[in-house]
Amino acid sequence: MDFTFTEEQQAAVEAAKAVFGPVAPDSVPSPALTPGAVADDFDRALWSKVADADLLSLLLAPEHGGAGLDAITLCLVLRESAKALARVPLLEHTATAVAVQTYGSDELKEQILPRAARGELVLTAASAGRTGHDPAQLAVSARRDTDTGTDTGTGTGTGTGTGSWILDGTQTGVPWAHNADHIAVPAHTPQGRTVIAVLPHPHEGLSLAEQISTTGERLGELHLDSVHLAAHQIIETDEAWDRLHQLLTTGTCALALGLGERVLRMTGDYTSKREQFGYPVATFQAVAVQAADRYIDLRAMEATLWQAAWHISTQAGGALPAAGDIAVAKIWASEGVRRVVQTAQHLHGGFGADTDYPLHRYHAWAKQLELSLGPAAAHEETLGDLLAAHPLG
């Protein structure tokens, strides 16, 4: 492994800093000050700037208007977006576009990717399942319309079959669902395979109920009632959902890292200026030790993130599959970001809870990221299963 970033990756970081750097955290709607959802839509003005900077197409191939870069680049950009609490579906949009590019039919690629690269279409993915705790692919059933074709169960499809599909089920907590143009919905077939339905929104048989996240954003409870989709809108490749879920999880770790870094910087600035007994509180041993512990958390979060991002970018072999590195990264991200914001609140004293100060916004976002795509305990269980199946010599 070589964790030295390429010139292209560093250029993407600079572009991200130019877009997200001017965003003031005080301008982000506060869930503590807003009854119900903080807004009906994501930040469309910021979305346009992200698109203009070509940050939506980083992972797409040149023929689709992209730069052909990798998951590491996406994580670098997500890290910068989280520092500003950017209210845009950058992670979900990019991850879904990559799944379509890698596994979708030619017709689906032509329909979605060029416009997605320019930000004209907004994509998201349903990954929480029916309850938020069960596998997402088990929450929705998908079957071929018996009048148009049958599912052979071979697992070799590429989304280019004939006939139509029928979907039924419920997905909870779908981010940005009310404002997305297409939603990637994993589903299981009667043969036990997993497919991804790239579902246009709105669509007949699809309904959305409003849910509110910890950050105050609108989530969608997605209900599918005999939704009919054409064959080209279904991605049938068996590994497609696992790869999409892995990228979503790794991207969430990148968001947690960026948020944690900004919070620790805010804490350092505050404790350096806040005086007690005539000295900055940052010079007190108890304060310095707590801040140092959180710095160690962030460095561990960073190391495990790049290990996971490198693994899914290269698909390199190892003692464990990529899912092992991703589980380790998410364990550190969930536990680490929680400890960082808790320590920040403690070291800020009452000032940290003041809604005139942005720290409470970061605390809400940190809790959302901690639990998104599974808390640490869920990934510890996954890691244990992987270690049992792949004993380390």
CATH number of 37's domain? 1.10.540.10
Note whether 248 and 270 are same-domain residues: yes
- Between the CA atoms of 371, 377, 378 and 384, what dihedral angle is there, to the nearest 10 degrees? 150
Note whether 86 and 132 are same-domain residues: no
* 158: pLDDT strictly greater than 80: no
Note whether 62 and 141 are same-domain residues: no
pLDDT at 211: 97
| Structural domains of the chain, count | 3
Sign of the alpha-carbon torsion through 157, 162, 164, 166:
negative
Note whether 196 and 249 are same-domain residues: no
Query: pLDDT-derived band of residue 157, with 50, 70 and 90 as boundaries?
Result: very low
Burial class, 370, CB count within 10 angstroms (exposed 0-12 / middle 13-18 / buried 19+): buried
* 155: pLDDT strictly greater than 50: no
Query: pLDDT-derived band of residue 153, with 50, 70 and 90 as boundaries?
Result: very low
Q: Report residue 167: phi and psi, to 5°.
A: -120, 140
Distance CA 73, CA 12 (A): 7
Task: For 189-343, list the strands marked E by DSSP.
Answer: 194-200, 206-212, 218-230, 234-235, 275-276, 279-280
Distance CA 163, CA 173 (A): 30
Instruction: Among 235, 260, 293, give the residue marking a domain's end.
Output: 235
Note whether 98 and 140 are same-domain residues: no
* 154: pLDDT strictly greater than 90: no
Note whether 57 and 135 are same-domain residues: no
Does any domain span residue 314? yes
Query: pLDDT-derived band of residue 393, with 50, 70 and 90 as boundaries?
Result: low
Burial class, 29, CB count within 10 angstroms (exposed 0-12 / middle 13-18 / buried 19+): middle
CB neighbour list of residue 162: distance below 8 Å, 6 or more residues apart? 148, 149, 231
- Overall average pLDDT of the 298-310 stretch: 97
Q: Report residue 288: phi and psi, to 5°.
A: -60, -40
Q: Does residue 93 contact residue 134 with C-beta atoms inside 8 Å? A: no
Domain range spanning residue 377? 240-389
- Residue in the structure block whose two tokens are 């960073």: 302
**Per-residue CA distances from 94 to 15, 58, 99, 124, 375 (Å):** 16, 8, 9, 8, 23
Q: What single letter denotes the amino acid at residue 152?
A: T
pLDDT at 171: 97
Long-range CB contacts (within 8 A, 24+) of 360-363: 360/30, 360/32, 361/25, 361/28, 361/30, 361/31, 361/85, 361/215, 362/25, 362/85, 362/259, 362/262, 362/263, 362/266
Query: pLDDT-derived band of residue 1, with 50, 70 and 90 as boundaries?
Result: low
- Residue in the structure block whose two tokens are 């869920």: 378
With a pLDDT cut of 90, the percent of the chain lying above it is 84
Distance CA 335, CA 269 (A): 23
pLDDT at 88: 98
Does any domain span residue 299? yes
Does any domain span residue 106? yes
Q: Does residue 218 contact residue 197 with C-beta atoms inside 8 Å? A: no
Note whether 141 and 88 are same-domain residues: no
* 152: pLDDT strictly greater than 50: no
Note whether 267 and 145 are same-domain residues: no
3-state secondary structure of 186: strand
CB neighbour list of residue 138: distance below 8 Å, 6 or more residues apart? 129, 130, 188
**Per-residue CA distances from 171 to 213, 227, 244, 299 (Å):** 15, 14, 16, 35
Instruction: Among 117, 132, 157, give the residue marking a domain's end.
Output: 117
Does any domain span residue 2? no
Instruction: Among 235, 261, 286, give the residue marking a domain's end.
Output: 235
Note whether 128 and 57 are same-domain residues: no
